[in-house]
Amino acid sequence: MKGKYTNALIRGGISLALILFVLWRFQGRLTEVWQMLASANLWWVLVSVLLFWTAMLINAFKWWTLLRAQAIKAPFLAMANFTFVGFFFNNILPANIGGDVMRGYGLAKYTEENAGAAASVVLDRLIGLSAYMSVAAVSALAVVFLTNRSDLWPLAAVAVLALLALITIGAFLISRRISRFVSRLLHRGILEKIAVIWDSLAAAFELYRFQYKTLAFAFLIGLAGIATTSMVNYALSLALGGGIPLVDIFLFTPLIALVLIIPISIGGLGLSQAAYPFFYGLVGVQGELALALSLFVQAVQLFCSLPGGVLWLLWKKDAGEGKTA
């Protein structure tokens, strides 16, 4: 318990340090950022909220698709419920992984399928990461070749290498022999925590072995979710007056999302405000606009996560009534 509080304090300190860094970097220009936010087109903001909820429902459908392959019976509305609750916890816990725990917990209680629930959550996360990196790699290469931005080659190379790394990991996990060999190597020495993650991935792949059509379909659904999330960013950029090409939005949305998964801040606070100006600055987007976009995106995320908080309170109420009965 003490370790958890220590980690929370460290991540809170990092968030505070990043916020102070952003304030220092944009000192004297924060008034312009505020003016952009205050004069934003609220109709585009409303569109972004609706798109964000649509993206969450698409992700719930992806997860539901994976469950159907295991013959685990759970209605789509229940999956949407767990997805919204998980997203709520993503915004109040130090890293996005917290939401996965809540999703798995809700599904396991609902279906009494602990192993299947855990496997579906793990694989859902890995497929989502693969889809994100695929979009980032393709977008980066498209930007480099179509706009002759040779200075972005390093970014494209990183995106492609990261995608190849995920593909390699997936190939290793599919092979029982290689998967077990890697597990034995990781369990030796100081890599025990990584070994636990590897073993959970291997267990998930074991349950979904030979379900290639389902995995491919889930990947396509993941791409649809990323496209919708990217459109959320684009709609908010239009709310701020535009100025960011759609191809740049599709390039940086998945990359920023991957950065925010790193568990070093509280709900991405501070990290998001540092990441947006950095990435969009690579293509010449005004720093004030990128910062305003990051604040808007985080505000929309927080607002869209509120239904998950309400649903979680209903979980607790139902659990309390069950104990009383």
> Residue 310 sits in which domain range?
2-324
Lowest mean pLDDT among 1-10, 58-67, 197-206: 1-10
**How many Cα neighbours within 13 Å face the side chain of 122?**
21
Q: Global pTM?
A: 0.85
Max mean pLDDT among 78-92, 132-146, 162-176, 305-319 falls in: 78-92
Could you write out the DSSP letters of every residue in 222-281?
HHHHHHHHHHHHHHHHHHTT--S-HHHHHHHHHHHHHHHHSSSSSTTTTHHHHHHHHHHH
User: What pLDDT digit, counting tens, does each position of 113-149 carry?
Assistant: 666 777 778 788 888 888 888 887 887 787 777 767 6
Residue 324 confidence class, pLDDT cut points 50, 70, 90: very low
Q: What is the mean pLDDT of residues 176-195?
A: 79
| Domain count across the chain | 1
User: What pLDDT digit, counting tens, does each position of 277-306 carry?
Assistant: 988 988 889 999 999 999 999 999 999 999
Could you write out the DSSP letters of every residue in 143-197?
HHHHH--GGGHHHHHHHHHHHHHHHHHHHHHHSHHHHHHHHHHHTSTT-HHHHHH
User: What pLDDT digit, counting tens, does each position of 228-261 carry?
Assistant: 999 999 999 999 998 898 888 888 888 888 777 7
Contacts for 174 with CB less than 8 Å, ≥ 6 apart: 205, 209
Max mean pLDDT among 69-73, 147-151, 259-263 falls in: 69-73
User: What pLDDT digit, counting tens, does each position of 43-52 carry?
Assistant: 999 999 999 9
Q: Determine the Cα–Cα distance for residues 221 and 179; give it in Å rounded to an integer.
A: 27
Q: What is the mean pLDDT of residues 91-99?
A: 62
Res 186: pLDDT: 80
Res 5: pLDDT: 61
